[in-house]
Structure 1
Amino acid sequence: MEMNASTFERYATMLGDLTVQFGTKLLVAVIVLMVGLWIIKRILKLFDLAMLKKKVEITLHQFMLSIISILLKAILVIIFASMVGVETTSLIAVLGAAGLAIGLALQGSLSNFAGGILILFFKPFKSGDVIDAQGYVGVVQEIQIFNTILLTLDNQRVIIPNGLLSNGCVKNVFVETTRRVDLTFGISYGDDIKKAKTVLQNVLDANEHILKSPQADIFVSAHADSSINILVRPWVNSENYWPVYFGVMEEVKLAFDREDITIPFPQRDVHMIQPK
C-alpha cells in the first residue's frame, strides 16, 4: 500500500511538473500568437495604405493583401506550433508536398493566375479599354485573377483566360488620344487622279471630327486589276474613329457621284459559243 502511494505521489509530481512546463510554454505561445496577429494587422494596414497611394488596381490590391495575410499567418502558426513542442520540420515537409501536388493538379489555372498578376501589375490594358485579342474586339469590363471579361461591339460577353492574354498579342485599340483612319478608294483608269484627290481632300475638310494636325495623307497606293487605288489617312481623336470611318466612306461615294468619278467593280465577260 505504501508502495502504491509512493508511486502515485511520484506520478502526480511528474504530471504537475509537465503541466507547469507545458502550461508555461502554452501561455507564452498564446501571447506570441496574440502579439503576432496584432503585428500582422499593422503590416497589412501599411501595405493597404501604400497600394492606395500607388493607385494599384482594386483587384490586385485585394489579392495582394490576401496573399500577404495568408503568408504571414502561416509563418505565425509554424512559430506557435514550434513553441508548444510540435515538430515543425515534418509539418513544413507535409505542407510543401501538399503544395506541390496542388500545383501539378492546377497547372492551367496557375498559368492563368500568373497571367492575371502580370496584367494587373504591368497594366497593358485596364477596365474600360478597347482591346483586340484572341480574335475578339471589345471593351474590357473586368480583369479578374484568372480571366478577363470583354464586352464585344455587338454586345456579347467573352471570357478570356489571362494566360492567353499574357502570352499572346494584345492590341490596345484606343489607348492613345489620337488615331489614324486608313481608307482606300478605287477610281477607274480613265478618271483624273488629281481631281479625285481634290474631291477627297474636300470631303476631309468638311468633316469637323478630322484633325488639322497632323495633316491627312492622300496618295496613290496601287495600280490594281480594275482600279487606281487612292489611300486616305486622316487623323482623329480616338473616340471619333468609327464616326469618321463610316461618315467619310459615305461622303466619298456621294462626292464621287456628283463629280462623275467612277468607282469600278470587277466585271466578267461571258461569251456564249453556239454549237455548229
Structure 2
Amino acid sequence: MEFITSWFNNNQVMLQDIAIKFIVALLILFIGKMVAKLIRKGVQKLLEHKNVDNTVISFTSSLVYGLVILISFIAAISHLGFNTSSLVAIVGAAGLAIGLALQGSLSNFASGILLITLKPFKSGDFVEVSGTAGVVEEVNIFSTQLRTGDNKTVIIPNGSITSGTITNYSKKPTRRIDLIIGVSYDADLAKTREILTQITSNHELVLKDQAVTIGVSELADNSVNFVVRPWVKTENYWPVYFELLESIKLALDEAGIEIPYPQLSVHVNQENSNES
C-alpha cells in the first residue's frame, strides 16, 4: 500500500498530464461529433435546395459525417501521444484496396450523382442511351431503368450512360418530322408539291406558327425525292408521323402520281438452233 501511495506521489505530474490529455481527447471527439452533425445538416440542406435525389442526399451526408468522425478520432489519439502515421497509412491502403475492388461500382455511383445533379433527363422522358431507346422510369444511384416501346425493362449502369451520347427526345416542347416521299420521274412535280402542302396544312396537329419545308431533295436512281418537314408538339410526333404517311400515300394514289419502288427487268435472249 505504501508502494502504491509512493508511486502516485512520485508520478503525480505525469498522471495529471495523462488525465488532461485524455480529457482533451474526449473533448476533441465530442466537438468533432458536433461539427460532423452540423456539416451533415448543411450538406443535406444544400442538396435539398438543389433538388437532388433523396438517396444521394442520404448517402452523401452520411459519408461526410463519417469522414469528419474519422478525422476527429485520428486527432484525438494523436493528442494522446500515439503515432498516427501508421494508422493513416493503413486506412489509406484499405481505402485504395476497396476503391480498386469497387472501381466499377464507384464509377456508376459518381455517374449517378452527375445524372441526378445535372439532370440531362428525368422520369417520363423518352431517351436513347447506350444504344437503347425507351422511357425513363427510375434514375438510381448506380443504374437507370428504361421501359422500351415493347414494354421491356432495361437497366443500364450509369457509368455507361455518362460515358456515351445521351439523346433526349422529350427535352424540347416541339419536334420536326422528317419525311422523304419519292415519286416517279414522270410525275407532275408542281402537283405533287401542292398535294404535300395541302395535307400538311390541313392536319390539325401540325403547328401553324412553324414553317413547313417541302422541296425536292434528291434525284435518286428510281425516284424524285421530296422532303416534307412539318413541326409538331413532342408528344404528337409519332401519331402525326404515321397519319401523314398514310394520308400522303392515299392522296398521291388518288391523283394518279406513282410512288416508284426498285424493279429489276430481266431480258432473255432465246437462240434457235437447227438440228441436222
Give the TM-score normalised by the residue count of structure 1: 0.87
- Kept after mapping to 2: 8 A contact 1:138/1:150: yes
Secondary structure of the structure 2 residue equivalent to 1:262 = coil
Secondary structure of the structure 1 residue equivalent to 2:146 = strand
What one-letter code is carried by the residue in structure 1 that aligns with 2:200?
Answer: L
- What does residue 217 of structure 1 align with? 213
Compared CA separation, residues 18 and 142, structure 1 to 2 (3 A): farther
Q: Deviations over 1:184-222 (max 9, x none)?
A: 111111111111111111111221111012111001111
- What does residue 68 of structure 1 align with? 64
Compared CA separation, residues 54 and 121, structure 1 to 2 (3 A): closer
Q: Which segment drifts farther, 145-154 or 202-211?
A: 145-154
Give the TM-score normalised by the residue count of structure 2: 0.87
- What does residue 47 of structure 2 align with? 51
Within a 5 Å distance, the mapping from 1:99-118 to structure 2 comes to 99-118=95-114
- Kept after mapping to 1: 8 A contact 2:182/2:223: yes
In the alignment, structure 1 residue 127 sits paired with structure 2 residue 132: no
Match of 2:132 among 133, 136, 157: 136
- What does residue 36 of structure 1 align with? 32
Runs of 4+ in 1 over 6 A off after TM superposition: 14-19
Mark the runs of 5 or more structure 1 residues left unpaired by the alignment: none
Compared CA separation, residues 170 and 14, structure 1 to 2 (3 A): farther
Q: Which segment drifts farther, 153-162 or 110-119?
A: 110-119
- Kept after mapping to 2: 8 A contact 1:116/1:145: yes
Within a 5 Å distance, the mapping from 1:1-276 to structure 2 comes to 7-11=3-7, 22-274=18-270, 276=272
In 1, Cα distance between equivalents of 2:261 and 2:134 = 33
- Kept after mapping to 2: 8 A contact 1:59/1:143: no
Counting aligned pairs with the same residue, the percent is 43
Q: CA deviation at 1:270?
A: 2.5
What one-letter code is carried by the residue in structure 2 that aligns with 1:103?
Answer: G
**How many residues end up aligned between the 2 structures?**
272
In 2, Cα distance between equivalents of 1:209 and 1:58 = 39
In 2, Cα distance between equivalents of 1:51 and 1:108 = 25
In 2, Cα distance between equivalents of 1:263 and 1:198 = 16
